[in-house]
Amino acid sequence: MVPFLLSAALLVLVIGILAPLAAAGRDMRSVRILSLACTALSSLALAAASLIVLLDGDPVTIFLCQPTPAIGIVFSLDRLAAFFTLLIAGISGCVAVYSVEYFDHLSGNGRRNVLCGAMNLFILAMVLVVASATTVSFVFFWELMAASSFFLVMYEYANGETRRAGVFYFIMTQLSTLFVFLGIIALFAGTGSFAISPIILSSSPLILPAFLALFTGFSIKAGIIPFHKWLPYAHPASPSPISALMSGVMLKVAVYGLIRFLLDVFAPEFWWGVLILAAGTVSAVLGIIYALKEHDIKGMLACSSIENVGIIFIGIGLSVILNALNLPALATLSLLGALFHSLNHALFKSLLFLSSGSVVHATHTRDIEHMGGLARRMPYTSALFFIGAAAIAALPPLNGFVSELMIFVAMFSSIPLVDPFVKVLLFVTLALFALTSALSAACFVKAFGSVFLALPRSPESEDATEVSSLMIVGPAILAAGCIILGIFSFQIFSLAGFNLPLPDMFLVGVLLCGTTVLVYGFLYFTTPHAHRVSPTWGCGASAQKPGSEYTGFGFSEPIVTIFSSVYRTKKKNVRHFYDAKECLFSDGIAGIDLIKVFEEYLYIPIAKAACRTSAAIARFQNGCLDTYLLYVFVTVVAIIVFLGWSA
């Protein structure tokens, strides 16, 4: 049953890739609908297959081909792979439903067909990365995923900003492939096998470089600081369904890679866990601090993805540490927290990206300072965004809270059991994790408040109208997922065979709803219903203007001041004078700019060094025949000398 469903799903996806590519020249809505229907259909089949594997627990293997005796293309779906397949399938299905109407609003005629095809290729590549049972097919489909996503990012290539984002993304994603490739070569050199299976000779000196290379490769793809810079560029540049897929799903494929190699290949040591935990904590804290400063709605969501991937890495790192300290039950709890947070983040982040796509479509701007008042104009979209914001801010009883709670409980419970050094480490992480969680609540109060509440701050927002039905249905399924996964989390884990020390969120949900209804009902029947609509007090001004509202900048100002050491600014003051003694001022520029610390102190120096090195090397290739003959001569002499030496 499972192999049939899997092959059928993949076949349908291939149809979804080829059909729109064949019709690329003409702008045909029917082809797009066909292609997206293929996406939705294959998502259903994939979800069914992975649910069967998840509940049965028996891994399924599909043998595709064996080009050489050492290298085989084999796919295998065990519970871990099935979990991530379910994640990919669930999100892609909803994105496909949303895209049917969203793509109609995009410009670019026939290119929209190509976009559908490339999106299906991207989804196919992600599914096959997760299903890969050999390192060769893993890296092959990893690269296919990277390449197809590059085309998706470059959709609006006419825009200079998009081209810059695309090139940035391309370089980062190729770096990621490079490191994954290096890691896999090191693994092969150390073990002599391309299978993703436990290392028997754990004493090989190549194991550590293999882990470090793989960890770097996966971190680049997952957006861990300091490799995070591509996210705030690539996400705003691409169409919203693509951002949803990249942020919701592609980052999780990197998480999958890390978990797969940690669990199945390596025998992780204690300090590997500390490394992952530290990387996760730094990403979580800095990610959300950067998100608070963003006023591009999609840029803000991208920064918040950095934060959430950081939380997932905290869970993974903690689990490695606890495993190394021989506390398997808590390690499992922490790893389950990381896995559950992957799924939850996929759900609420794609929900937020899709509903912000609707908002951007309705207001024609990505700047939250130009939105406002949309709750009354777009009631359904605002409700959906609200559910996403509440889930990502970890409010009970929604799903984001449950996964953070799992990591919190693992930390709280392990503190008494570990030695002092780990205790201190855990306390520091715990404090920073709590800070992250509270800052993300502040960030999403700001986002929801600025976008949806109060008065509209631009004429476009004033005239915004609700989007069409399919653009509500897609995110609505995701929102329902957020609520169901939160409320029934305890029951779901029991069903999967994990008895976790968690509160029953169903009970909490019933209590919350029951109390709200009681309070509301009690007041409804006991107090008068008289109400009146009267203008907000404007301090004596005759009419309230949008300009007097609190802006998003103003909202995050206290946090920016408190964390001013993180937001480094640069003061610029250039003055020109008429005379040599600088007395008569002619003109000048002054400004305070935010320093992009990582970009200015890490990325650009590396890029400049690379440019200098290549410029130095390029001098050897001067196009002059005599020089090349000289090279040949020198090489021949060198070979003769070398051979004479070794003989």
**Binding piece for another protein, criterion CB under 8 A, among 33-41, 297-305, 426-434, 460-468:** 426-434
What span, in angstroms and rounded, lies between the C-alpha atoms of 93 and 192? 39
Candidates 62-70, 330-338, 357-365, 547-555 — which segment interacts with another protein by CB under 8 A?
547-555
Q: How far is 261 from 272, CA to CA, in rounded Å?
A: 13
DSSP string, 9-64: HHHHHHHHHHHHHHTTTS--HHHHHHHHHHHHHHHHHHHHHHHHHHHH---EEEEE
Q: By CB under 8 A, is residue 18 in contact with another protein? A: no
Of 134 and 403, which has the nearer Cβ to another protein?
403
Q: Which is nearer to another protein, 83 or 408 (CB)?
A: 408
* Of residues 37-76, those binding another protein (CB under 8 A): none
Q: Structure tokens of 214?
A: 């793989």
Instruction: With both helix axes pointing from N to C terminus, report the angle between 79-105 and 251-260 in degrees, rounded to the nearest 10.
Output: 170
Q: How many Å apart are CA 194 and CA 70, to the nearest integer?
A: 7
Q: How many Å apart are CA 592 and CA 617, to the nearest integer?
A: 39
CB of 105 to another protein, least distance (A): 25
CB of 342 to another protein, least distance (A): 20
Give the nearest distance from C-beta 364 to another protein in angstroms: 22
Site string (500-539) toward another protein, x via CB under 8 A: -xxxx--xx--xx--xx-xxx--x--xxx-xxxxxxxxxx
The contact pattern for another protein, residues 440-469, with x = CB under 8 A and - = no contact, is -xx--xx-xxx-xxxx--------------
Q: Does 499 bind another protein (CB under 8 A)?
A: no
Instruction: Identify the residue among 203, 326, 561, 565 touching another protein (CB under 8 A).
Output: 561
The residue from 114, 185, 430, 597 that contacts another protein (CB under 8 A) is: 430
Dihedral sign (CA 414, 418, 422, 424): positive
Q: Whose Cβ is closer to another protein: residue 179's or residue 490's?
A: 490
Contact 244, 91 (CB under 8 A): yes
Q: To which residue do tokens 């600081």 refer?
A: 225
Give residues 140-169 in contact with another protein (rule: CB under 8 A).
none
- According to the binding rule CB under 8 A, does residue 572 interact with another protein? no
Among 4, 271, 412, 633, binds another protein (CB under 8 A): 412
Nearest to another protein of 51, 435 (CB atom):
435
Contact call for residue 435 and another protein (CB under 8 A): yes
Q: Name the amino acid, one letter, at 235.
A: H
Q: Does 555 bind another protein (CB under 8 A)?
A: yes
Residue 251 in contact with another protein, rule: CB under 8 A: no
Closest CA to 551 of 455, 636, 626: 455
Residue 189 interacts with another protein (CB under 8 A): yes or no: no
* Helix ranges, 366-464 (H): 374-377, 379-392, 399-414, 420-452, 459-462
CB nearer to another protein: pick between 534 and 614: 534
Q: Contact with another protein (CB under 8 A): which of 170, 215, 272, 408?
A: 408
| Structure letter (DSSP) for residue 570 | E
- 544 near another protein, judged by CB under 8 A: yes
What would the 3-class secondary structure string for 122-191 be? HHHHHHHHHHECEHHHHHHHHHHHHHHHHHHHHHHCCCHHHHHHHHHHHHHHHHHHHHHHHHHHHHHHHH
Contact pattern for another protein over residues 364 through 403, marking x by CB under 8 A: ---------x-xx--x--x-------x--xxxx----x--
Coil/strand/helix, residue 550 = coil
How far is 333 from 354, CA to CA, in rounded Å?
31
> Shortest approach of another protein to residue 16 CB, angstroms?
39
CA contacts within 13 A on the Cβ side of 403:
29
